[in-house]
Structures are given as structure tokens and as C-alpha cells.
Structure 1
């Protein structure tokens, strides 16, 4: 079995979505002084590789602790682009190499933009057309994963989020900032479980995939 780590490490000073809290680690206890090492953590619910619960964008939407975790573990379809993704360009159904007629709960769109995660180019990522999101939903997907900061545009302080509104408004889940999707085959098994953060809108995840 081949395992793939799909999560970016979390560390102080790491890239964040514009306006999100910075990542800070503070030593609370040390082995020399206290006999145990404990670290205080400060970062946003949408730090690094993370998921968006419906309450991220939808008033009274489900929070992280209310999600059906069965949706976040199991078969996944990984959709590659026909051609290399271009900065700030939309991705529609015609840009994908193939879309099966029936999709599992988890579907991921591969742009390869995780290679820019540590550069300013990360904010100029391609984005998903809402029509493609609607098609993926119609074919059975309930968890939408991307290897970009967002399935919607980020650059120039974008203030409209049509894919978020559609997907989260339909009760789905969005996963952002995945990495290594370019290494995956069309069909894999995936686990993208969040922390059970009561009443909150998102959570960092340790995302992994494996293929027999």
C-alpha cells in the first residue's frame, strides 16, 4: 500500500489566507522546568490544509463537530486537468480530463498550484466555475477538495464566493490547501478528518490518501 500525505505542515510564519490569524507557538511547560513539554497554539480555523464546514459561509449552517465524519473517510475521485492550469483562470467541465458519471462522496480537483504555496503566486490560483461545482454535486460528490487557497478567486481581495455559497449552502464540505494531488491516480481512498471543534466553522486536517 502506498500512502500519500496531503497536508501542509503548520508552523509559525507559514502562508495564510489574506486576513486570517498568524500562526504562533508558545511554550507553556518544558521538560527541564515542569517535567513535560506543552505548547500553546494560536492559529485560525482555516490554517494550512483544512476543511470548511457549512457555517463558514452559511448562517446557521453545520459546524465542524456536527459534520457526518462518514463523508470524510473512504473512496475519492481525483480529477486532473487536460492542460496546465493558468493563473486566475476559471476551471470548467471542459478543462477536466474526465468526470465519471457517478462520483463518491469525496472529489478533488488537481491544479498543481500547491507548488506555489510558499510564494506570492499562491493568491493568483485558478478557480472553479460554479457550473462545474453543480455538476460534481449532481453526480454524487459531497466533499470538494482543491490544492489551492480556495475554490473561489482569492486575488485582489475577492469578496464573492459563489462556489462556497453553492457547496456549503447545499450542506457540503470544502477542503482547501491540499498538496501532492498530482501524484494520485483517479481513484484512491482518502481520510480528511478534522478536530471536533464545538460550534466552529472549520478545522485544520491531516489529510492522507492511499492506493492498494
Structure 2
């Protein structure tokens, strides 16, 4: 069985969502001076490939440490955009998926747009988004964890941010979980096992994760 790393590396100065804390990693102790190496990590809870708990946008919502591990591990469905590639700023609807949606979905569903290739580049913020209608359909068919290979399932441009985040409001408002900035989704088969486990941050609104897929 092959293990596919679906995470972006965490490093100083890496891209972050507009307004989020910048990432800084620096030595706190060194082997030469202290006998051991320890790094100081300064970053937001939504750094890199990460999980959004309901508490991210819902007052009193479920926090990271309250998410059952069974919800974020297990069978996943990868839905590809096709036949043409996702366009900048496009709102992905069900009819833009390469294959018809099955009637029943596993709890983990990921939308593979291929936009992860722009992570760290100028086009990253112009990523495609998930339409609210598609999000509602995925939820109705059993999905509870929504993964995307870009900054957000909602648009990230300034005008859209002012208008709110409807997919976040719907998904997290229904006690679901969102995973953002996944990588290499387009390399996966349609059905795969995934592990999207967050750090056990007490009362956390989100957490970086080491996202993995297990491919036979």
C-alpha cells in the first residue's frame, strides 16, 4: 500500500489566508549551545494544510478536540472537476464534476480542482470555489468532511470576502468539518482511505494536519 502525503510543508514565510498570522519558525535551543535542538513555532491555527472545526465560524460550535477521530479517518470520495480544468474564480457546480455524483457518499469528500499547483504563487488567491448548491447536495448525500485543494471552499477575493462565506456558514453551521489546502488530490483514485487528524488543541477553532491517503 502506498502512502500519499496530501500536505504542504510548513515553513517560515509560507502563504497564509489573507489576514491570518504569518508563519515563523526559528531555533529556540541548538545542539551546539544547549545540547538539544528545539524550534519555536509561531503560526495561526489555520496554517497550511489544516482543518476547520465548527468553532471557526460558529459561536459555541464544536472545537477541534471534540471532533471524533472516526470522522476524519476512513473511506473518502475524490470528486474531480472535468472534463475541462477548473478556471480561476469558477464556482464549481455538480455538472462540472467529471463523473455523476453517487446517491450515497462517505463522510469524507474532497473536491480535486488541481489548484494546489498554484500554492505559493500569484494565482493562489484566484482559486475556484464550491457552489453552495453543490455543498448542500454533498451534505444531503452523506458527506460531513469537505476537503479542497485550495485556500477555501468559498472565494478568497476581496469582494467575495466582504459578502461572507456561505459554504463555511452552511457546512460548519451544520457541525461539519472543512479541510483546506490539500495537495495532490488529482493523483488519487476516486475511492481511497484518508487520515485527516488534527492536533489535539484544547478548545481549538482549527489545526494544521498531516493529511494522508492510502492507495492500494
| TM bracket, shorter-chain basis | over 0.9
TM-score by length of 2: 0.96
Report the counterpart of residue 146 of structure 1 in structure 2. 148
Give the superposition deviation at 1:88.
Answer: 0.6
Report the counterpart of residue 178 of structure 2 in structure 1. 174
Identify unmatched segments of 5+ residues in structure 2.
none
Report the counterpart of residue 190 of structure 2 in structure 1. 186
Q: How many residues align?
A: 212
Q: What SS does the corresponding residue of 1:120 show, helix, strand or coil?
A: coil
Runs (4+) off by over 2 Å: none
Q: Distance in 1 between matches of 2:3 and 2:150?
A: 21
TM-score by length of 1: 0.98
Structure 1 residues 28-56: Cα deviation after superposition (integer angstroms, max 9, x where no partner): 11111211111110000011000000000
Report the counterpart of residue 97 of structure 1 in structure 2. 98
Q: Distance in 2 between matches of 1:120 and 1:45?
A: 23
Give the superposition deviation at 1:26.
Answer: 2.3
Map residues 58-207 of structure 1 onto 2, 5 A cutoff. 58-82=58-82, 83-98=84-99, 99-156=101-158, 158-159=161-162, 160-207=164-211
**Root-mean-square deviation over aligned CA pairs:** 0.8
Q: Distance in 2 between matches of 1:27 and 1:96?
A: 45
Q: What SS does the corresponding residue of 1:21 show, helix, strand or coil?
A: coil
Give the superposition deviation at 1:200.
Answer: 1.4
Q: What SS does the corresponding residue of 1:74 show, helix, strand or coil?
A: strand
